Chain A
């Protein structure tokens, strides 16, 4: 191997390493996304990834805007206790906000401000 061809080979390898580092850096920056708190946002693409039972509950809540577990159960034709359980699961996932007004608890799709 001549000096010239080995230098060219080294440059080629360095470029390859540099490319790999760039990809690792890009990958790393997207892994940091949860810190922004925006992963909790319930957009329609996230809705599609939810299991069937939670998706039905969340879709009904999108339609109603704001609702109690009773109102939601009426819409989905499920037991109130079941819907309440699903809604609270969505609250824990950060997708749904829970507010008390007097004696009633209202659920609504969250604004994605974090858990």
Chain B
């Protein structure tokens, strides 16, 4: 069974997508077969245009037009990874985004079923790790993916207000869906040491990544774990991967 991880954040701009791309790349670089899916249909990241284009969209999976294996594209050659590195993109065209935003609950129920099927198909195809880059906040684009995942990694910037909202999403979404969840504190500052794991749930913090200006700029143009594996950001990502390996083994 493929290990399925949903990368989520309660608020936008937490560095969720950069974390997801780099974690997927870290797995692929050590020879794991990886699939990274952008399931944020309402605000597609297209992985910051870092990865080569594909013919079909993740939207096609949710619409039942194509199976996941028709949608994903192996970019391992272009990215130079040891393991297979499949990616699937959400359609960034505004018409597609508007269409998704108007979908009703019945469509969302069907979308959840199709995403469950996609997870099974990826497992059957021999994928080791599936990473779902979800939408921020609590709506169907994020909660459907969380429901499908085995593990949830919640990425957040430390701060008292964010700690409160993190507790809300843990108690109101992750726990009721019976998920094992872990926290990544991103863009941490020494003068704001608030621990995001909170007092109420005390979830494990897999990494506290310091705020680094060069990371914010470079993550738009390159995948740091591949271009500079010795960078302190890349090392943190590899540490997370090793921690996850221990947790899941």
The residues of A with any CB-CB pair to B shorter than 8 Å are 38, 41-48, 52, 55-56, 59, 62-63, 65, 109, 111-112
Please tell me if the beta carbons of B113 and A41 are within 8 angstroms of each other in the complex.
Answer: no
Please tell me if the beta carbons of B109 and A42 are within 8 angstroms of each other in the complex.
Answer: yes
Bound complex: CA of A109 vs CA of B151, how far in Å? 23
The residues of B with any CB-CB pair to A shorter than 8 Å are 104-106, 108-110, 112-113, 116-117, 140, 143-144, 147, 172-173, 176-178
Please tell me if the beta carbons of A44 and B112 are within 8 angstroms of each other in the complex.
Answer: yes
Please tell me if the beta carbons of B106 and A44 are within 8 angstroms of each other in the complex.
Answer: no
Please tell me if the beta carbons of A55 and B143 are within 8 angstroms of each other in the complex.
Answer: no
Selected A-B contacts with CB under 8 Å, 10 pairs: A38-B105, A41-B106, A43-B108, A45-B140, A48-B172, A48-B177, A59-B178, A65-B113, A109-B113, A112-B105
A48 contacts across to B, CB distance below 8 A: 143, 172-173, 176-177
13 additional contacts (CB under 8 A) given A43-B106, A43-B112, A62-B116: A41-B106, A42-B109, A44-B108, A44-B140, A44-B143, A45-B108, A45-B140, A55-B177, A56-B178, A62-B113, A62-B147, A65-B116, A65-B117
- Nearest chain B CB to A12 CB, angstrom units: 37
Inter-chain contact total with CB atoms closer than 8 Å: 54
Bound complex: CA of A104 vs CA of B71, how far in Å? 35
What is the chain B residue whose CB lies nearest that of A48? B176
Bound complex: CA of A109 vs CA of B109, how far in Å? 9
A43 contacts across to B, CB distance below 8 A: 105-106, 108-109, 112, 140
A59 contacts across to B, CB distance below 8 A: 147, 177-178
Q: Chain A: interface secondary structure?
A: helix
With contact pairs A59-B178, A62-B147 given, residues A45 and B105 touching in the complex (Cβ less than 8 Å): yes
What is the chain A residue whose CB lies nearest that of B173? A48
Please tell me if the beta carbons of A41 and B109 are within 8 angstroms of each other in the complex.
Answer: yes
A109 contacts across to B, CB distance below 8 A: 109, 113
B176 contacts across to A, CB distance below 8 A: 48, 52, 55
Bound complex: CA of A47 vs CA of B116, how far in Å? 15
- Residue A62 contacts which of B106, B112, B143 (CB distance < 8 angstroms)? B112
What is the chain B residue whose CB lies nearest that of A37? B106
What is the chain B residue whose CB lies nearest that of A39? B105
Please tell me if the beta carbons of A38 and B143 are within 8 angstroms of each other in the complex.
Answer: no
Bound complex: CA of A56 vs CA of B179, how far in Å? 12
Please tell me if the beta carbons of B113 and A38 are within 8 angstroms of each other in the complex.
Answer: no
What is the chain B residue whose CB lies nearest that of A45? B143
B140 contacts across to A, CB distance below 8 A: 43-45
